[in-house]
Structure 1
Amino acid sequence: MERAMGISHFGAAAAACVFMLAQGARAEEAGPHLAIELNAVAPAETGCLISFMARNGHPAAIERAVFETVLIDRAGQVERLTLFDFGDLPAGRPRVRQFSIPGLACDDLGQILINGTSACEAGTLGEAACAEGLDLSSRTDVELIG
């Protein structure tokens, strides 16, 4: 019986190793990219404060990244179209960017759509550095899509 449990534990450990290797391979396949996480949505004095965590995984800085962004209510209707200027995003360093949206009740927000790149100044990386392989995620109940 001990032997069977040893094999079972070995099998579980082997499966975990295979899973971790597969995850690492996927990250390598993705290559350098920009990751944007919707980190928090909080009521503010005049509306809603939206916080993002951006991670530039490229080998060089992005001097300026501006995204055309669509705020969508919980009923699925476009609430407004706006530009979010993330400013400079240094290579390999996370940056928090916050945007105050006047007149927006946070409870009404259902999705945020990154509709496209309005401006991307990325030097030798080129304009594609802000859009190709863009990794979007959310830590909130508001979905970040693109």
Structure 2
Amino acid sequence: MLAFHRPAFCCALAFLGAATMAQADETAAASALTLTLNSLHTTETGGCRLSFVLQNDLGVALDSLKAEAVLFDATGQVATLTLFDFGALPEGRPRVRQFDLAGQGCDAIGGVLINGIGTCEGAGLAPGVCLGALHLASETDIEVTG
């Protein structure tokens, strides 16, 4: 019959528990969907072209990703509510998506709020995975929040 020394056994269990939690944290940290506002440019018609860089590190390709976005003006008032269709996103590879906003100049945009994820489809994805893994950033003067 095996005999366990209680303090050593308890320490071993604590170590294994900590190692398991650390591994789960690493997995959660690795599972990310990063959306970065990379640039804004005025179009020939006076509208604004927003360029986003997306990085899908969810461990599975996305067949479709659509996000509801709210654009605020320089005073913080809601200017536009829109849907950004980012399309399919392969796993582990960056993609650039651009959206033209007709009739809205870039200087009129004070902020972008990702209000929610309307569609997030991929093999074996549980509901809410994209929203839970969403990391937002901006490489412009325009803040992106969610």
Between Structure 1 and Structure 2, which shows a larger proportion of helix residues? 1
Counterparts of 2:127 and 2:94, CA distance in 1: 20
Counterparts of 2:26 and 2:113, CA distance in 1: 24
TM-score by length of 1: 0.78
Deviations 1:91-136 (A, max 9, x none): 0000000000001110111100000011111220233232112100
Counterparts of 2:134 and 2:26, CA distance in 1: 13
2:61 corresponds to 1:39 = no
Residue 111 (structure 1) aligns with: 111
Query: Could you tell me whether the CA contact under 8 Å between 1:36 and 1:52 is conserved in 2?
Result: yes
Residue 128 (structure 2) aligns with: 128
- Specify the SS of the correspondent of 1:140: coil
Letter in 2 for 1:143: E
TM-score by length of 2: 0.78
Letter in 2 for 1:96: V
Letter in 2 for 1:86: F
Paired positions, count: 122
CA RMSD of aligned residues (A): 1.7
- Specify the SS of the correspondent of 2:104: coil
The offset of 1:29, in angstroms, is 4.8
Q: Percent identical across equivalent pairs? A: 45
Counterparts of 2:101 and 2:73, CA distance in 1: 13
Deviations 1:49-95 (A, max 9, x none): 00000000111101100000001011000001000000001000000
Structure 1 or 2, whichever has the larger Rg, is 2
Counterparts of 1:79 and 1:55, CA distance in 2: 27
Counterparts of 1:98 and 1:48, CA distance in 2: 10
Where in structure 2 are there 5+ consecutive unaligned residues? 1-24
Query: Could you tell me whether the CA contact under 8 Å between 1:33 and 1:129 is conserved in 2?
Result: no
Letter in 1 for 2:96: V
Residue 52 (structure 2) aligns with: 52
- Specify the SS of the correspondent of 2:58: coil
| Matching of residues 1-146 of structure 1 within 5 Å | 29-46=28-45, 47-146=47-146
Deviation >4 Å, runs of 4+: 26-29
Bigger CA drift: 87-96 or 114-123?
Answer: 114-123
Query: Could you tell me whether the CA contact under 8 Å between 1:53 and 1:95 is conserved in 2?
Result: yes
Residue 23 (structure 1) aligns with: none
Residue 8 (structure 2) aligns with: none
